[in-house]
Amino acid sequence: MEISSKTSIKPMGIFASLLYFGIPSVIFYFFIYFVMQRLHGAGVNDFVNFYASMVTPLILMLIASLVAYKSEGNKFSWALLSKRFRLKKMEKKDWIYTLILIVAMIIIQGGLAFTSKWLIQFDFFAPPTFLLPAVDPRLEHNLVLNSFMGFPLKGQWWIFFVYLSVLVFNIIGEEFWWRGYILPRQELAFKNWTWVAHGIFWALFHFFWKWNLLILLPVSLVLSYVVFKQKNTWIAIITHMIFNSIPLIGLLIGIIG
């Protein structure tokens, strides 16, 4: 679906973009730097804390995308939702671009991984002391795990399915909001420069992970360019899911034992 000026979708310029990216960023910042801290101080289990402080804003983002979709006067049906959010059938060219995107992101993340360790040396970029071990850049993270956030893994399949639900909310919540709802509106305002504006805004949205910004900016720009070029949100969903599923592999190995 090509978005044109004949559609009922309104353009989203720089000021609206600041709101639509800034408000979710503030919400995430609140949940990580306030809710996570309070739950940690109260002795709440890390797993419960993780779900409460990091999954809740993702659920809110998913709800926001559906509310925004409905506010445009759309009816709730998969066919109409797919058309508005550009959940198109993956063609051969889409799969090729997805593969190229995945390779590019692996190279970028691998090549710039050192920047997170470098940035946390500075007070401004240092992560808070209460940050959960699963997302703490100061710690070394192994792929294969024996325990996860205080729970032994062997035979504990419920952990796998709970974490899988985290992934679903993470990927669908973000992609419906960023690439499904916002990107088509930005295209009406930024035209050929949409991928640049969208990529910068999306990277800055992650300010709550500020030690990762030097990695996130090029990753955000590359992903934004490919989705903008192909007009297919499935590319972002598939790529996002593959990258965020890496910890799930470690959990699965630990559960099987």
Q: What is the pLDDT of residue 5?
A: 37
Q: What is the pLDDT of residue 252?
A: 87
Q: pLDDT tens, position by position, for the chain (257 residues)?
A: 444 434 479 999 999 999 999 999 999 999 999 999 999 999 998 889 999 999 999 999 999 999 999 999 999 999 999 999 999 999 999 999 999 999 999 999 999 999 999 999 999 999 998 998 878 888 877 767 787 877 888 888 998 898 899 899 999 999 999 999 999 999 999 999 999 999 999 999 999 999 999 999 999 999 999 999 999 999 999 999 998 888 888 888 888 87
d(Cα 58, Cα 251) in Å, to the nearest integer?
21
User: Which residues, other chains included, contact 109 with Cβ-Cβ below 8 Å and sequence gap of 6+?
Assistant: 215, 219
What are the backbone angles phi and psi of residue 147, rounded to the nearest 5°?
Answer: -145, 160
Tokens of 106: 């692996």
d(Cα 36, Cα 146) in Å, to the nearest integer?
24
Q: Which of 206, 216, 241, 253 is nearest to 102 (CA)?
A: 241
Sequence-separated contacts (24+) of 113-118 with Cβ below 8 Å: 113/215, 115/214, 115/215, 116/211, 116/212, 116/214, 116/215
Within a 10 A sphere around the Cβ of 53, how many other Cβ atoms?
A: 23
Q: What is the pLDDT of residue 139?
A: 81
Q: What is the pLDDT of residue 1?
A: 41
Q: What is the pLDDT of residue 140?
A: 78
d(Cα 226, Cα 95) in Å, to the nearest integer?
11
Q: Which of 140, 132, 163 is nearest to 245 (CA)?
A: 163
* Torsional class of 222: left (φ above 0), alpha (ψ -120 to 50), beta (otherwise): alpha
Q: What is the pLDDT of residue 198?
A: 98
